[in-house]
Amino acid sequence: MQKSTLLLLLLLISAYAFHLGRKRARDIVLGKVKTLHSLPNYYGYYTALWSLLPALLLLILWLGFETPVINHMVMESLPDGSQALSADIKGLLINDIRNSMNAGGSDTKPELQAAVEFLRLLKIRSGWLLSFLAVALAFVGAYFARSRIHKEHRARNLVENTIMSFLLGSSLIAILTTVGIVLSVLFESIRFFDKIPLTDFLFGLQWSPQIAMRSDQVASSGAFGAVPLFTGTLLISSIALVVAVPIGLMSAIYLAEYASLKFRSVAKPLLEILAGIPTVVYGFFAALTVAPFIRSMGADFGLDVSSESALAAGLVMGIMIIPFVSSLSDDFINAVPQSLRDGAYALGATQSETIRQVVIPAALPGIVGGILLAASRAIGETMIVVMAAGLAANLTANPLEAVTTVTTQIVTLLVGDQEFDSPKTLAAFALGLVLFLATLALNILALHIVRKYREQYE
Amino acid sequence: MNNPKEDSQLSNLGIRTHQIVKAGLPRRRAAETRFKAYGLICIVAGLGFLVLLFGNIISHAWSAIEQTYVALDVTFDESLLDPEGKHDSAVLAAADYPALLKKSMSALFPEVKDRQQKRSLNGILSKGASYELQRILVKDPSLLGKTERVWLPVDDDVDMLVKSQIDRSVDEGDRRLKDYQIAWIDKLMADGRLEKRFNRQFFTSGDSREPELAGIQGALMGSLFTLMVTAFLSLPIGIASAIYLEEFAPRNRWTDIIEVNINNLAAVPSIVFGLLGLAVFINFFGLPRSSPLVGGLVLTLMTLPVIIIAGRSALKSVPPSIREAALGIGASQMQTVFHHVLPLAMPGILTGAIIGMARALGESAPLLMIGMVAFIVDVPTGLMEPSTVLPVQIYLWADSSERGFVERTSAAILVLLAFLITMNGLAVYLRKRYERRW
């Protein structure tokens, strides 16, 4: 039976169980619902939960353990000689058997024929056994819950406690995600630093992750010095901030202080569209339009501009993060109390003087927080740099040359064939760790500043 | 007490101050105007970028609406297609259609004899033209033995020339089409055999190496499946944890940690979620690479913080009096939340959820990590099948060197933007329609 059909069946059974429980509760008190501890529906929910949850638990456990158990049984069934094989070979063998079963058994090696047949049989049996057990468990649960219903039964509390644990569990997923990120990136990084020393990675000036297959291969030294990636990331992010901060900040000032309500209600959402456009679109725009434009401009001035210049990627990234700067700054400028402005006007300051000398200094912590958030966004941005920045790890501060970034290298290292024991693949996780820590530090700092600032005027 | 000397000194001072201020006024007023103008210029610049971006994409995309087709008189030669006369659909499906096309082409240009030239003559047609013929004949076997005029797609280079996107004035060596090929195309055009028609292929087929055969249906289905998984998981979990954190959680260190943690997760670079998906879902749990299931799981983890934050602020905006009233007439806390608070907060939660979904739809970086960049021709039909999504398809096409992919990439971007605008429009509508001011 298909798993989805089984799931649907279980849901149907639990709907039946709901009906069963509610009816039972009504019958027990002969229709005098008021004498029950909980409303009849809660007895229904109680029965339905008893019917659904154990069966679902069984389903999940079964799916988790099905493959290893079946593999073990298939290996046991093989002739004696194969028991002595090493674990790796056994894994390959199992893969072989599974593949030839999926292919329909047409090109099976004759010596594996029996195993393939056995595997198919096991899979079918396992499917039926699971369906039977799950359905049986659902009914057993339903009737067990039904038998426990009596007048004083605290069904509502039991149901609410179950819902509460679901709510609590859901809110823990966020924590689990963070733990998962840290652990997955950390473990692979530790394996990487076993092969390449941490100092070489953090302070090395040479990045060429291709490892030579033959000793005479050119340009494949397998050097993992990440400094060129860090400088490249910083260069592109700085260009982006140079574009975004003035434009974003001035827009925010105009929107918050000068613009009429009508203009503001049109211009603000329009500006925020910039942050909603998928980054792949910006990447396409940068690679197809902006980079050639900058290149030909450079040629007009007699400059040699690389076709994957840091300038093109940085400019477009800057456009993307304008709304991050502007909407946060806008919020904080609006949060500055009107009394401060009135005080400045009373002293004879013009509006722009008030803004420059009173409002902005008062809102500065918030604005800085916003800029830090935008910087963290720029550092972690992937698609624009993958499509518009280069792959060559040049150590340069010249925005007209091609540089590469941490995110570009992660993508390059992980897209395509991977072996999980080569330093090349593991390097991507080490870069990921650096990226995660850097953005985390920026975010925590920014959120801390923002939070502290918010409290100041509340 | 009153010293007339001091008084006059003071008033002198007052007059002097007045003069100084007055002298500075034009400069200060000019500074004021300038400052205001800078602000306006910056907004106009920001909006200008937006217009430039959209204009650029639309100007590249509009030509993808049409695809050039050539009219060929094809004789469905029985001796070639079905030499044994069995009229069996399996035989018809496996027959040699390229030979038919070659015959029709040389009937049009009998003067071409040279083998090399003949090959480039046949190259005018798309590589998919023979499949089109096969489709026509299998659909209507009675055509066998007859001569029909059929419209077939042309190669992307020819298509580009017809759409005047290949510059004829460029040196022959730098052009993808040689002079004699252009002469053939001009002749076909003069005969009225070349026609631009609506590009149905683009919406109904999967990916292809040939621009004229490539379509977005595969990517659209992949996006649909991925987003289904994301919505199915992130909505209940996100709403549940928002409810817990806002309504039930005790205010202590633990909930503080969870809160800071969620705010941080919302700002973690998306590519890091891709690394998580690769290490946990693919390497640890052994789920199939490139599948919408894994893509959906990764995007779920990414959108959860957005939904939780939006959900909490929606719940927060429901006034306490609602809760107090419900509790006052004897509802339990759980009943208060699920019967009264949640329904009132639902429009706000849904708005946040739709915006989160729109972000997930446009996301591509984490999906590159879990292998959704593979070249996949077939349209996926399930959660476990290898597939790609629309933004990744755009990335793949943008990387291709063929000129014909530029317009298709732009057209795919327009489709993606159309979906995003619809979703965001829906969110705005929901907010406007159901927003309550307490």
- The pLDDT tens digits for B58-115 are 998 888 888 888 888 888 877 777 777 666 767 777 777 888 888 888 888 888 778 8
**Domain enclosing residue A146, as ranges:** 3-153
Assigned domain for B282 exists: yes
The answer on A227 and A116 residing in a single domain is: no
Residue B10 belongs to some domain of the structure: no
The answer to whether the Cβ–Cβ distance between B46 and A167 falls below 8 Å is no
Poorest-pLDDT segment among A127-141, A415-429, B119-133, B242-256: A415-429
Residues A215 and A110 in one domain: no
- Categorize the per-residue pLDDT at A133 as very low, low, confident or very high, splitting at 50, 70 and 90: very high
Task: Provide the pLDDT for residue B71.
Answer: 86
Q: Are residues B333 and B284 in the same domain?
A: yes
CA dihedral for A408, A271, B362, B402, sign (positive or negative): negative
Assigned domain for A222 exists:
yes
Interface test with B, best of A102, A165, A167 (most B CBs within 10 A): A167
Domain membership of residue A171 (yes or no) is: no
In a domain, A374, yes or no: yes
Q: Is residue B39 part of a domain?
A: no
Q: Which of B197, B231, B262 is the last residue of a domain?
A: B197
**B29 CA: distance to closest CA in chain A (Å):** 8
Mean pLDDT for all residues in chain A: 86
Domain count, chain A: 2
Tell me if B261 and A175 make a contact (CB, 8 A cut-off).
yes
Q: Report CB contact under 8 Å: B362, A279.
A: yes
Nearest to B270 among A253, A382, A440 (CB): A382
Whether the pLDDT of residue B388 is over 80: the answer is yes
Instruction: Go through chain A and tell me how many residues it has.
Output: 458
Q: Does A445 touch chain B (CB under 8 A)?
A: no
Among A114-118, A230-234, A241-245, name the one with the lowest average pLDDT.
A114-118
- For residues B424 and B286, state if they share a domain: yes
pLDDT at A108: 60
- B307 shares its domain with B416: yes
% of chain A exceeding 70 in pLDDT: 90
A207-211 and A221-224 as β-strands: parallel, antiparallel, unpaired? antiparallel
Q: Pick from A111, A133, A153: which residue ends a domain?
A: A153
Residue, of B192 and B275, whose pLDDT is higher: B275
Do B250 and B398 belong to one domain?
Answer: yes
pLDDT at A450: 80
Please give the average per-residue pLDDT across B315-320, as a whole number: 92
Write out residues 275-304 of A within 8 Å (CB-CB) of B: 276-285, 287-289
pLDDT of residue A83: 61
Same domain, A331 and A260: yes
CA distance B140 to chain A (A): 33
Query: pLDDT by residue (tens digit) across B357-378?
Result: 999 999 999 999 888 888 888 8
Judge: B47–A276 Cβ closer than 8 Å, yes or no: no
Q: Of B40, B236, B398, which is closest to A387 when you measure between CB atoms? A: B398
**Percent of chain A scoring above 90 in pLDDT:** 45
A123 and A243 share a domain?
no
Output the pLDDT for position B2. 56
- At residue A421, the pLDDT reads 66
Question: What pLDDT score was predicted for residue A416?
Answer: 65
Among the candidates A153, A176, A193, a domain finishes at A153
Is it the case that residue A62 has pLDDT exceeding 70? yes
Q: Is A413 domain-assigned?
A: yes
Residues B254 and B368 in one domain: yes
Maximum mean pLDDT: which of A74-78, A324-328, B240-244: B240-244
Q: With respect to residue B43, please indicate whether it lies within any of the assigned structural domains.
A: no
In this prediction, residue A234 carries a pLDDT of 94
The reply to whether B398 and B268 lie within a common domain is yes
Q: What is the pLDDT of residue A111?
A: 67
- Residue A181 belongs to some domain of the structure: no
Residue B221 shares a structural domain with residue B190: no
Please give the average per-residue pLDDT across A130-153, as a whole number: 90
Residue A414 touches chain B, beta carbons under 8 Å: yes
- Residue B245 and residue B313 in contact, taking contact as beta carbons nearer than 8 Å: no
CATH value at residue B396: 1.10.3720.10
Q: A146 and A40, same structural domain?
A: yes
- The alpha carbon of residue B408 is apart from the nearest alpha carbon of chain A, in Å, by 12
Yes or no, beta carbons of A276 and B358 under 8 Å apart: yes
The yes-or-no verdict on residue A376 having pLDDT over 90 is yes
Q: What are phi and psi of B51, to 5 degrees?
A: -65, -45
Provide the CATH number for the domain around residue A296: 1.10.3720.10
Residues in chain B with CB shorter than 8 Å from the CB of A383 are 364-365, 391, 395
A385 confidence band (pLDDT: 50, 70, 90):
very high
Which structural domain range is residue B224 located in? Answer: 217-434
Same domain, A414 and A288: yes
- Shared domain for A216 and A144, answered yes or no, is no
Residues A212 and A148 in one domain: no
- Please state which of the ranges A165-169, A454-458, B311-315, B337-341 shows the lowest mean pLDDT: A454-458
Say whether pLDDT at A221 is over 70.
no
Q: Do B238 and B378 belong to one domain?
A: yes
Please report whether residue A175 resides in a domain: no
pTM: 0.88
In-domain check, residue B353: yes
Q: ipTM score here?
A: 0.89
Residue A94's pLDDT is 75
Are B187 and B228 part of one and the same domain? no
Q: In the prediction, which pLDDT does B4 show?
A: 66
B192: left (phi over 0), alpha (psi -120 to 50) or beta: left
A170/B245 touch (CB, cutoff 8 Å), yes or no = no
Q: Is residue B52 in some structural domain?
A: no
Q: How many domains does chain B have?
A: 2
> Looking at the DSSP assignment, which residues form a beta bridge with residue B70?
B152, B194
A267 to chain B, closest Cα gap in Å: 8
- Cβ-nearest to A436 among B21, B236, B272: B272
* A199 lies in some domain: no
* A169 domain residue, yes or no: no
B253: pLDDT strictly greater than 80: yes
Among the candidates A119, A134, A153, a domain finishes at: A153
Assess contact for A312 and A294: CB atoms under 8 A: yes
Please give the pLDDT value at position B362.
93
Query: Which pLDDT score is estimated for A1?
Result: 55
pLDDT digits (tens, 9 = 90+) for A12-21: 999 999 999 9
Q: Would residue B47 count as lying in a domain?
A: no
Establish if A326 touches chain B: CB-CB under 8 angstroms. yes
Best mutation target, B42, B290, B405, to test chain A (most A CBs within 10 A): B42
* Same domain for B190 and B336: no
Same domain as B309, residue B161: no
Q: Is the dihedral of CA B51, B52, B53, B54 positive or negative?
A: positive
Residue B3 pLDDT level (bands cut at 50, 70, 90): low
* A396, two tokens: 């340069």
Question: Which residues are CB-neighbours of B61 under 8 A, at least 6 positions away?
Answer: B407, B410, B411, B413, B414
Alpha-carbon gap, residue B220 to A251, rounded angstroms:
37
pLDDT of residue A19: 92
Single-letter code of the amino acid located at A27: D
pLDDT value at A214 more than 60: no
Task: Express each pLDDT in B255-298 by its tens digit.
Answer: 888 888 898 888 899 999 999 999 889 888 878 888 999 999 99
Nearest CA in chain A to B37: A254
Mean pLDDT value of segment B407-432: 91
Looking at the structure, do residues B179 and B312 belong to the same domain, yes or no?
no
B176 inside domain: yes
- The DSSP result for B163-232, as a single string, is TT-S-TTS-GGGSSS-HHHHHHHHHHHHTT-EEEEE--HHHH----SSGGG--SHHHHHHHHHHHHHHHH
